Amino acid sequence: DQHSKVESAYREFLSRYEGSKTNPPVLGATGSRLLSGDSSLARTLEAYLASPSVHDREAALIFNSGYDANLSILSSLPYRNENGSDAIIMDELVHNSLVMGVRMSRLDPKNVFLFRHNDVEDMKRVLKNVCQLSKKSTSAIASSGPSVLIVVESVYSMDGDIAPIKRILDSAYEMGATVMIDEAHGLGVFG
Q: What is the pLDDT of residues 78-130, one digit of tens each?
A: 876 666 678 999 999 999 999 999 999 888 888 899 999 999 999 999 999 98
Least confident of 55-69, 109-123, 128-142, 174-188: 128-142
Asked if residues 77 and 142 have their Cβ atoms less than 8 Å apart, the reply is yes
Name residues whose C-beta falls within 8 Å of residue 63's C-beta, 6 or more positions apart in sequence.
69, 72
Q: What is the pLDDT of residues 1-36, one digit of tens each?
A: 777 888 888 888 778 777 776 766 666 656 677 777
The DSSP secondary-structure symbol of 109 reads: G
Is the Cα dihedral 155, 156, 162, 163 positive or negative? negative
pLDDT of residue 140: 42
pLDDT of residue 138: 46
pLDDT of residue 139: 42
Q: Interior CA angle at 50 toward 63 and 73, to 5°?
A: 35
Least confident of 39-43, 152-156, 182-186: 39-43
Q: What is the pLDDT of residues 124-172, one digit of tens each?
A: 999 999 887 666 544 444 444 568 999 999 999 888 899 999 999 999 9
Name residues whose C-beta falls within 8 Å of residue 98's C-beta, 6 or more positions apart in sequence.
70, 74, 90, 151, 153, 182
pTM: 0.76
pLDDT of residue 30: 63
Higher pLDDT, 171 or 41: 171
